[in-house]
Homo-oligomer: A and B are copies of this chain.
Amino acid sequence: MVPRYARPQMTALWEPEARFRIWFEIEAHATEALGELGVVPKSAAKALWDWWATNPAIDVPAIDAIEAVTKHDVIAFLTWVAEQVGDEARFMHQGMTSSDVLDTCLAVQLARASDILIEDLDKLLDVIKRRAFEHKLTPTIGRSHGIHAEPVTFGLKMAEAYAEFSRCKARLIAAREEVATCAISGAVGTFANIDPRVEEHVAEKLGLAIEPVSTQVIPRDRHAMFFATLGVIASSIERLAVEVRHLQRTEVLEAEEYFSPGQKGSSAMPHKRNPVLTENLTGLARMVRSYAMPAMENVALWHERDISHSSVERYIGPDATITLDFALGRLTGVIDKLLVYPERMMKNLDKMGGLVHSQRVLLALTQAGVSREDSYRYVQRNAMKVWESDGQLSLLELLKADPDVSAALTAQEIEEKFDLGYHFRQVDTIFRRVFGEA
């Protein structure tokens, strides 16, 4: 975890105290079920919950001190709880194995992390939607291969991002389901010493599904799928970040990351406003993506489990969720406040002197009876002049002045072909597809 790329809500989820609180809940719910089943006295769970109702502080150093002796984290925790609660606590954990607690706790943490991330995505989607409608018809040049192609609108770029992050949200909801399972099934998953109904009870109380069949642990294909999904989401963040970085290039400058009016550009160069936030997001995406690999390597544990996955998860559990949460928040801020420059967009669009319309003129000439070869030649010779003038000449003016062209098309007909609006006739259709409204 790198503190500067972490936000408190997500970070708190991975702190020892949060983990111990979840452990307690698992143990107390299990004791409750054991009480119902007559395995332990019902008073045991009551004692635990009564203590919990006092909202006791979790004394992490005290628990750590016990662990230093017992060399076992779950036993250390149980011992400490027993010291607080008293005699009734001895019924906790009956028939359970440490992994029951650890893996179910991880499930709770990942589910809660997912909830935060889903909320992050909702905020991002809101912001993107607002910017999409704001610029629904703001013309800008569409580029393939970095080269001007045909006009699009800035709103369409936002609509693409909206559709993409909507998919990300759906994937995240699915990924949450993957990992939100509870296993309380004993040393090798046979329920030899614990009734499956305990698992069912704890699962229900914690909002988890039961794990249909576990070994000593919850199977790690679930976690692999979870972290792979985060990697895909991070890649979508990178895509939008790279778009902003391109738009902010000195020569393009169609949009910029926000800077406050009074904010100084670096030294005496007022143009030096660097897209550092989106560059940063590009790097963060690389990290989150990389965590998919060790998560997949974690799947093939030996027999009923080995513990090689554990160290990996101590890194990527916090790192992937904390980093992604931070990145989503940062991206939301960038899009929310993005400075968009429609005039510059139009200027760039016009940079080619109207070349983006050449194809429509070509078509019109053909429809007016000019052979395809001649049509191409007429347009091409004017287009070349415009191109060589580096945007100083206008294709429209040249075409109107070209006797071959004007023999086939009136000035008005030519002008009509230079109508940007023509390209945007389906923007509403697309918006309705993406947003359900236009």
Q: Which of B156, B189, B231, B234 contacts A213 (CB 8 A)?
A: B156
Nearest Cβ on chain B to A239's Cβ, whole angstroms: 4
Asked if A407 is an interface residue, CB under 8 A from chain B, the answer is no
Assembly CA distance A78 to B229 (angstroms): 39
Q: Which residues of A200-236 have CB atoms within 8 Å of chain B's CB atoms?
A: 210, 212-216, 219, 221-222, 224-225, 228-229, 231-232, 234-236
Asked if A136 is an interface residue, CB under 8 A from chain B, the answer is no
Residues of the B chain whose Cβ atoms lie less than 8 Å from the Cβ of A304: 142-144, 149, 152
- Number of A positions contacting B (CB below 8 A): 134
For A254, the closest partner residue in chain B by CB is: B251
Residues of the B chain whose Cβ atoms lie less than 8 Å from the Cβ of A148: 250, 271-272
A274, B145: Cβ atoms under 8 Å?
yes
A269, B156: Cβ atoms under 8 Å?
no
Assembly CA distance A89 to B372 (angstroms): 16
A192, B423: Cβ atoms under 8 Å?
yes
Q: Which residues of A329-354 have CB atoms within 8 Å of chain B's CB atoms?
A: 348, 351-352
For A377, the closest partner residue in chain B by CB is: B268
For A141, the closest partner residue in chain B by CB is: B250
Residues of the B chain whose Cβ atoms lie less than 8 Å from the Cβ of A250: 141, 143, 146-148, 351-352
**A121-158 interface code vs B (CB 8 A; 1 in, 0 out):** 00000000000000000000111111111111000100
User: At the interface with chain B, which of A79-87, A111-119, A167-175?
Assistant: A167-175
B221, A235: Cβ atoms under 8 Å?
yes
B383, A307: Cβ atoms under 8 Å?
no
A279, B297: Cβ atoms under 8 Å?
no
User: At the interface with chain B, which of A20-28, A33-41, A102-110, A312-320?
Assistant: A312-320
**A278-310 interface code vs B (CB 8 A; 1 in, 0 out):** 011011111101111110111111111111111
Assembly CA distance A291 to B242 (angstroms): 22
Asked if A267 is an interface residue, CB under 8 A from chain B, the answer is yes
Asked if A248 is an interface residue, CB under 8 A from chain B, the answer is yes
A314, B4: Cβ atoms under 8 Å?
yes
Q: Which residues of A147-197 have CB atoms within 8 Å of chain B's CB atoms?
A: 147-152, 156, 159-160, 163-164, 167-168, 171, 174, 178, 186-192, 196
Asked if A49 is an interface residue, CB under 8 A from chain B, the answer is no
A279, B296: Cβ atoms under 8 Å?
no
Nearest Cβ on chain B to A121's Cβ, whole angstroms: 13
B270, A355: Cβ atoms under 8 Å?
yes
A146, A231, A427: residue with the most chain B Cβ atoms closer than 10 Å: A146
Instruction: Name 6 extra pairs, CB < 8 A, besides A150-B188, A289-B296.
Output: A147-B248, A190-B426, A191-B429, A242-B300, A279-B308, A283-B294
Give A contacts to B, CB under 8 Å.
Answer: 1-2, 4-5, 141-152, 156, 159-160, 163-164, 167-168, 171, 174, 178, 186-192, 196, 210, 212-216, 219, 221-222, 224-225, 228-229, 231-232, 234-236, 238-239, 241-243, 245-246, 248-252, 267-276, 279-280, 282-287, 289-294, 296-312, 314-316, 319, 348, 351-352, 355-356, 358-359, 361-362, 376, 379-380, 383-384, 387, 422-427, 429-430, 433-434
